[in-house]
Structure 1
Amino acid sequence: MKTIVFIWFCLLSGIRSNSELEKMPEKQVAPVINNLEEFQQNLPGYLNTSNKVAVLLDYDGTLAPIADNPSKTKMPVELEAILRKIAKHPEVFLAVISGRGLKDVQKQVNIEGITYAGNHGLEIEYPDGSRHDYELPTEIQKNYTNMVKELKEKVEKNGAWVEDKRVSLTYHYRDTPVELKDEQKVLAAEICKKYGFRPNQAHEAIEAKPPVNWNKGEAALYILKQKFGENWAQEVSVVFAGDDTTDEDAMRVLRGLGRSFRIASDAQIQTFADFRLPKQAVMTDLLKWIAGVYVS
Structure 2
Amino acid sequence: MTPAPLATEDSLAAIAATPRLLVALDFDGTLSPLEDEPMDARMLPAARDALEALVAVPDTFVALVSGRSLHDLRLIAEHADDSRIYLAGSHGAEHWIPGEGAIEPQDDEGDVELRDRLRREAEEATSDLEGIWIEPKTFGFGVHTRRADAADADAANRRVDRIVEAEAPHWRRRTGHNIVEYAFRHEGKDTAVAALRERVGATAVLFAGDDVTDEDALRKLGPDDLGVHVGVRPTSARVSVRDIPAMADLLASLAAQRSHARE
Q: Which range, TM-score by smaller chain?
A: 0.7 to 0.9
Pair 45,222 (structure 1): closer, same or farther in 2 beyond 3 Å: closer
Which blocks of at least 5 consecutive residues in structure 2 are unaligned?
none
Q: Distance in 1 between matches of 2:238 and 2:164?
A: 32
Residue 153 of structure 1 aligns with which residue? 124
Q: Aligned pair 1:201/2:166, yes or no?
A: no
Match of 1:53 in 2: 21
Query: Match of 2:192, as an amino acid?
Result: A
Aligned to 2:230: 263
1:22-171 → structure 2 map (5 Å cutoff): 28-33=1-6, 38-48=7-17, 51-111=19-79, 112-156=83-127, 157-171=129-143
Aligned residue type for 2:13:
P
Match in the other structure for 2:212: 245
Give the letter for the 1:247 counterpart: D
Pairwise CA distance, 1:58: 0.6
Q: CA–CA distance in 1 between the matches of 2:241 and 2:160?
A: 31
Distance 2:175 2:192 in 1: 20
> What stretches of structure 1 of length at least 5 have no aligned partner?
1-27
- Indicate yes or no: 2:192 matched with 1:219: yes
Matched length: 254
* Residues 228, 237 of structure 2: 8 Å contact kept: yes
Q: 1:280: how far off?
A: 2.5
The more displaced of 59-68 and 77-86 is 77-86
C-alpha separation between the residues in 1 aligned to 2:209 and 2:20?
21
Q: Which residue of 2 aligns with 1:277?
A: 241
Q: Name the stretch that deviates more: 136-145 or 249-258.
A: 136-145
Q: CA RMSD in A?
A: 2.1
Q: How far did 1:245 drift?
A: 1.7
User: TM-score if structure 1 supplies the norm length?
Assistant: 0.78
- Do structure 1's residue 179 and structure 2's residue 143 form an aligned pair? no
Separation of aligned partners in 2, 1:60 and 1:192:
26
The question of whether the paired residues in 2 share the 8 Å contact of 1:192 and 1:199 is answered with no
Q: Once the 2 structures are TM-superposed, how far is the Cα of residue 150 of structure 1 from its aligned partner?
A: 0.7
TM superposition shift of 1:252: 1.9
Change (3 A) 1:218 1:257: farther
Spell out structure 1 runs of 4+ moving beyond 6 A: none
Cα displacement string for residues 120-168 of structure 1 (whole angstroms, at most 9, x for unaligned residues): 1111010113443344444433332221111111114412111112213
Counterpart-to-counterpart distance in 1, 2:3 and 2:106? 36
| Aligned CA distance change for structure 1 residues 109 and 88 (closer, same or farther; 3 Å) | farther
Distance 1:254 1:168 in 2: 27
CA contact (8 A) 2:135 2:141 kept: yes
Cα deviation for residue 257 of structure 1 reads 4.5
Structure 1, residues 11-39: CA drift from partner, whole Å, max 9, x if none? xxxxxxxxxxxxxxxxx314221xxxx42
| Change over 3 Å in CA distance of 1:89–1:44 after alignment to 2 | closer
CA distance in 2, matches of 1:83, 1:43: 16
**Is this contact kept in 2: 1:192–1:198, CA < 8 A?**
no
- Deviation by residue 1:172-225 (Cα, 9 ceiling, x = unmatched): 11112333221112222332333232222211111213253x211111111211
- Summarize deviations over 1:62-106 as a string: whole Å, max 9, x none: 111111111221222222212222223332101111111112111
Which moves more between the two structures, 277-286 or 135-144? 135-144
CA contact (8 A) 2:157 2:180 kept: yes
* Higher relative contact order, chain-length normalized (CA < 8 Å, sep 6+): 2
TM-score of the two chains, using structure 2 as the length reference: 0.87
One-letter identity of the residue aligned with 1:276: S
Task: Give the whole-Å Cα distance in 2 for the aligned partners of 1:183 and 1:107.
Answer: 31
What SS is found at the alignment partner of 1:63?
coil
